[in-house]
Each structure stands twice: as C-alpha cells, then as structure tokens.
Amino acid sequence: MLPGSWQGVLGEELDEDYFTELTEFVEKERAAGPVYPPRDEVFAALDATPFDQVKVLVLGQDPYHGAGQGHGLCFSVRPGVRTPPSLRNIYKELRDDLGHPVPDNGCLTPWARQGVLLLNSVLTVREAEPNSHKNQGWERFTDAVIRAVSDREQPAVFVLWGAYARKKLRLVDTTRHAVVEGAHPSPLSAKKFLGSRPFSQIDAALRAQGHDPVDWRIPDLAA
C-alpha cells in the first residue's frame, strides 16, 4: 500500500488501530458506491514524490468528488479533464507571478516529479459528496506525513492556502522550514489569492535553502 520511500517514516501508522478502522470504513464505502480516487491512486502523491525528495509540500483538503477527476494529487486532475476553478486561479496567478502561460490541462504530475508533494489532508471521498470521508482517520495519517517532513534535517517549503490548511502550521518546525501562507485559490477567496505571488515566494525560499527552484510550467497536451 505505502510507497517504499515512506515505509520507514510512516509504516508504523498502518499498524495503528485507527488505520485499520479507516481501511475498513473506506472498503465499506467502496462496496456501497463510487469512491475516489481508485485504490491504486490513494497514495499517488507519496508515490510520485519520494520522502527524501520533498522540497515543497502543498496541502489540499480532500479529493475531487467527480468521476474521472482526481488521481491522488491535490488540486490536480487527470489529463483531458476540464481544469477545476481553483486550479484555474492557481494558473492565473502563476501566469501573473512568473509569466508562465496557462496550460491546456490540469495534470500537475510534472510538479510532483520535481519534489512538490501535492498532499490532501483526506485521501478519499464519496462520489458527489465533498468532505464525506473527513474525521475518519485520514487527518491523523496525513498529519504524520507533515510531521515526518518537518522532522527531517533537510529543509522544505510548506504551502498552506486557506484557513483549513493554515491550521496545520502547528505541525511544522518553522525554525528550520519555510512557510508560504495565503488565501485559498477557490473562487470564494480568489480576490485575496490573486496577486499574492506565492510561486516567487516558494522559489525564493528554495534558493535560500540551497535547493533549485521548481519549473512550474505544465506542458500543453496538444503540443
């Protein structure tokens, strides 16, 4: 279930009673109806970004709840799926901040492969019911992910957009890691998000930590 690079820091979580209960809950949910993402993509964010390669951690809330949308990376959708509103705002800000063109797709896998851990706080969701799997144990597991990155000697940049994500600041050792906070990119708070220049802040923090900045450009599928 858990990618190998994360076994050493998270393996014990899978042996805890809460994780057994969580697994049973999710399986009952899958038996009752569609649950996203599919089983083999629940840990896709951890699989795409190995533990020792995490340079940036972006925290989302829970997966997209529409058929074929989410694939285990926060804010990201499968190639060919319409770009959701929050990600459209992220792309607008990326264009205005760094001058990168808005891509024709919403697949953020290129970011994940460069060390950007695109982590949702809750890793599964019932179809058409946002937040339907909250408070079932995922938050305890993903808090352990955040702590594991925070406890590393190697510094990282934590990106906390919106009130929900910003509550996780307590899990981060801010004496060793950088934090970029701001409004959520959702249309409800877009006026506060747009113009906040988070990408240049992230890259500046990475340079200060001795990391290479992220190439934030997403290739067009039609190219």
Report, as an integer, the average pLDDT of 10-39. 97
Q: Which residues contact 81 (CB under 8 A, 6 or more apart)?
A: 68, 69, 105, 106
pLDDT surpasses 70 at 186: yes
The mean pLDDT of 147-166, rounded to a whole number, is: 97
Percentage of the chain modeled with pLDDT above 90: 98
Tokens of 216: 């934030």
pLDDT(93) > 80: yes
Model confidence at 40, pLDDT cuts 50, 70, 90, reads: very high
pLDDT of 1: 79
- The band of 223, judged by pLDDT with boundaries at 50, 70 and 90, is low
Is 193 within 8 Å of 161 (Cβ atoms)? yes
Active-site entry in 15, 40, 62, 143: 62
Tokens 């990475």 map to which residue? 206
Confidence at 187, pLDDT banded by 50, 70, 90 = very high
Mean pLDDT of 97-116: 98
Quote the CA–CA distance of 138 and 144 in Å, as a whole number.
Answer: 10
Stretch 29-42: mean pLDDT: 97
Instruction: State the pLDDT at residue 190.
Output: 96
In the prediction, which pLDDT does 222 show? 84
Kindly report the average pLDDT of the chain as a whole number: 97
Residues 6+ apart with CB under 8 A from 18: 137, 140
Model-level pTM? 0.98
62 is catalytic: yes
